[in-house]
Amino acid sequence: MTTLDSLSLAWRTVRSNKLRTGITVAIIAFGIMALIGIITAIEAMNQSLKESFSSMGANAFNIRFKESRVRIGGGNTEVKKTVRGRKAKKSNLGKPIRKEDAEFFKNNYHFPGAMVSIYRRGPGAQEIHYEEKKTNPQINLWGGDENYLQVNGYTVQAGRNLNSLDVQSGRNVCLIGSNVASTLFGERPERAVDKIIRIGSMPYRVVGLLKSKGSSAMMRQDDVIITSYTNIRRFENITPSYMVGVMVGNVNELEAATDEATSVFRAVRKLEPMEEENFVIERSDKFAEMFIGFLSSITGAASAIGLITLIGAAIGLMNIMLVAVNERTKEVGLIKAIGGKSSNVRQQFLFESMIISLLGALFGIILGVLVGNIFGIILKTGFIVPWAWVIIGIVICSVVGLAAGIYPAMKAARLNPIVALRYE
């Protein structure tokens, strides 16, 4: 009796016990589905986060007052982070970055190839009107300068960018995001250029249409209106502090550019050598790392859920294999009586256990990837297959099948053929 014969016999046995096999496969499949599904969803979230935070560019950084507050999904939840682990002294906390501070920095920061932008966050949750049409009250307003788009990863699809005259005069001109244009101007968003829209009760002339950045559930980057930072001061509920964005020509120069920016901005803020900084420098990749770090704990929880389920499946599979040994005692005796060896019997039961376990892995992986990518569709990411975890899942199921089948296989192999043939 060859190994191939044992494998063939094991496969026929598995096929003949459809109900028992189906239940066991389902238990294993659900465990793998939970593991692969959650991992796939986390991969989709990681990809969405990286795409969202890379909008500013890997070779750019921001200078902000005190500490950054990142709003997640437009809600009230805020994540606070202080860069380099330092907090400004309480005596300096009431000194937001003024317009004069930001402009002085822009004029005196001379790092080779660097581009500096001044901007300020305006009110959020705004409703924009054009004639009889209006957007949902979810549009964010930003005030920037002529460098704001490039530093923050936006490009102009139609019309023009803000210029220095727009910034100096503070006149009512703006650029609108692609979602805003689609809502107000339908299938021809380029018609928005030179049209008059209303933000609240104030009219604004649209001078440019922004190319879509692919808004995700994490960050609505296309639901924006951008005007000049001198104009945004007309609104209420704006941030009290200005912000500065810096983009360098090469990502390898980022550390040197950050150090020089720190030195120049300390002079701008008139800080003594021994005083702590009352500003922070933030890089987009640091935010991504922070959020991805949060998601790693979810990965651990997913692994625990999958492992617990698979342990239960292994116990169930071993129980089923022990029952199979008792049911097929005469069959084992017959195999030995016609010349089959104990190793052949052991192989057959191990193959059965492994086949059931690997079938569970196959169905679990397919279901897990599909379920996880439903979350990917919501986040508007591409189809994701976590190949590393797929391989890990197959290895885990192989180990489960082997562990669950060893004892029943050894028990069957030790049966006395004469006693087995007389078993009732």
Compute CA distances 138 → 23, 49, 311, 399, whole Å. Answer: 48, 20, 47, 51
Query: CA-to-CA distance for 379 and 66, rounded, in angstroms?
Result: 31
- Are residue 294 and residue 236 in the same domain, yes or no? no
Q: 280 in a domain, yes or no? A: no
pLDDT, one tens digit per residue, over 402-423 is 888 888 778 777 877 766 566 5
* pLDDT bracket for residue 357 (50, 70, 90): confident
* pLDDT bracket for residue 352 (50, 70, 90): confident
For the full predicted model, state whether its pTM sits above 0.85: no
Q: What is the pLDDT of residue 316?
A: 77
Q: 262 in a domain, yes or no? A: no
- Are residue 390 and residue 324 in the same domain, yes or no? yes
Neighbour count for residue 160 (Cβ, 10 Å): 13
- Are residue 223 and residue 335 in the same domain, yes or no? no
- Are residue 322 and residue 415 in the same domain, yes or no? yes
* Torsion angle, alpha carbons of 85, 118, 200, 223, to 10: -70
Domain boundary residue, one of 188, 221, 248: 248
Q: Inform me whether the pLDDT recorded for 381 exceeds 80.
A: no
Q: 224 in a domain, yes or no? A: yes
Q: Which two tokens stand for residue 236?
A: 């209420």
pLDDT, one tens digit per residue, over 130-152 is 988 999 998 999 999 999 998 88
Range of the domain at 324: 3-51+290-421
pLDDT, one tens digit per residue, over 296-336 is 777 777 677 767 777 777 787 788 777 777 777 777 777 77
Q: Inform me whether the pLDDT recorded for 219 exceeds 70.
A: no
- Are residue 25 and residue 129 in the same domain, yes or no? no
- Are residue 137 and residue 241 in the same domain, yes or no? yes
Q: 269 in a domain, yes or no? A: no
Domain boundary residue, one of 195, 214, 248: 248
Q: 81 in a domain, yes or no? A: no
Q: What is the pLDDT of residue 54?
A: 54
Q: What is the pLDDT of residue 282?
A: 82
Q: Give strand pairing partners of 130.
A: 133
- Are residue 211 and residue 153 in the same domain, yes or no? yes
Q: Which two tokens stand for residue 316?
A: 């169930």
Q: Inform me whether the pLDDT recorded for 69 exceeds 80.
A: no
- Are residue 124 and residue 241 in the same domain, yes or no? yes
Name the maximum alpha-carbon separation found in the chain: 103
Domain boundary residue, one of 248, 271, 300: 248
Contact 421, 336 (CB under 8 A): no
- Structurally, the chain folds into a number of domains equal to 2
| Token pair 């003594």: residue | 272
- Please provide residue 17's backbone torsions phi and psi, each rounded to the nearest 5 degrees: -110, 70
Query: CA-to-CA distance for 88 and 266, rounded, in angstroms?
Result: 12
Q: What is the pLDDT of residue 56?
A: 53
- Are residue 294 and residue 238 in the same domain, yes or no? no
Indicate the average pLDDT of the chain: 80
Average pLDDT over residues 95-109: 92
Q: Inform me whether the pLDDT recorded for 176 exceeds 80.
A: yes
